[in-house]
Amino acid sequence: MGRENGWVEIRSISLPAPDRRPPAMNEDLVLTGPDFAVVLDGATAGQGIDSGCRHTVAWLVAQLARQLAVPLLSQSSAPLPELLADAIAAVCAVHAGTCDLTNPDSPSSTVAMFRAGSDHVEHLVLADSPLVVRAPDGAITVHSDNRVDLLPEYTFEAVRRLRNQPGGFWAASTEPKAAYEALTGTTDRADVELIAVLSDGAARYVERYGRSWEDLLEVLETEGPATLVDRVWKYDEAAHPDTFRGKRYDDATAVLCRL
């Protein structure tokens, strides 16, 4: 996969939630290269939950990005699930001696990524960070892993019991096999004009506030990722907490690539 297979233009932003303290603590991370983009969104630890790990969620996200960067930048031809499984295994090896990797509340992260080749574009989505593709004719395809939304209940106990378990949902944490449970696929490069890679903090523009994916892409394309995030946070500020599940604000990451 040569670097001539990359994109023409890329714009991205990753910002911590406005109520995050300290403000610099962002549990999202975006990693881009000449022919790929990756968005990682760490799962915020619950108050009083013992993760069994001495490291933060932000540490896990940074370590996963570091391990993914090497094969992606060296243009490995290995399938994306294999790259992710190797990255998870490598991160586990880094802290297996200091942390309890059997703890079901170990830090975890979503993963959304794509890699552009000369003939096709590969994608991988694990947990709730979607990837949106627009074709030259304007048709939009959303690749989204909604298994966390299908849980019978959304308590800390239920999430703990069903994380990285058959019949539950999968995330990048301490189980390399989770990478092979990701939703993957390929698209002919000729059918790809734009790709947006989002954390759920940015995707809530559609998923929580009911705007269309077409509208989201238009905002990204004409006004940029920072405007999209600003609009989401204004919606967050105005919304009544009883109208949605989960935290009021979230870290937000948006990447737009034009091939």
pLDDT tens digits along 237-246: 998 777 777 7
Helix (H, G, I), strand (E, B) or coil at 238: helix
Task: Name the DSSP letter for residue 18.
Answer: T
**pLDDT at position 210 over 80:** yes
Cβ neighbours around 175 below 10 Å, total? 21
**pLDDT at position 20 over 70:** yes
pLDDT at 5: 64
Q: How far apart are CA 53 and CA 37, in angstroms?
A: 28
Query: Rounded to whole angstroms, what are the CA distances from 117 to 104, 114, 157, 257?
Result: 37, 10, 42, 14
**pLDDT at position 147 over 70:** yes
Maximum CA extent, the chain:
52
Tokens coding 66? 């570091």
Query: First vs last Cα of the chain: how many Å apart?
Result: 15
131 close to 36: Cβ distance less than 8 angstroms? no
Region 147-156: mean pLDDT is 83
**pLDDT at position 85 over 50:** yes
In percent, how much of the chain has pLDDT > 90? 79
Q: How far apart are CA 172 and CA 64, in angstroms?
A: 9
130 close to 198: Cβ distance less than 8 angstroms? yes
User: Bridge partners of 31?
Assistant: 38
The more confidently predicted of residues 98 and 2 is 98
Q: Beginning with the edge strand found earlier in the chain, give each strand of the sheet holding 28-33 in spatial order.
A: 28-33, 36-42, 109-116, 120-126, 183-188
Task: Name the DSSP letter for residue 99.
Answer: S
pLDDT band of 1, cuts 50, 70, 90: very low
Least confident piece of the model among 37-46, 65-74, 104-113, 240-249? 240-249
Least confident piece of the model among 17-21, 55-59, 68-72, 137-141? 17-21
pLDDT band of 3, cuts 50, 70, 90: very low
**pLDDT at position 90 over 60:** yes
pLDDT band of 110, cuts 50, 70, 90: very high
pLDDT band of 103, cuts 50, 70, 90: very high
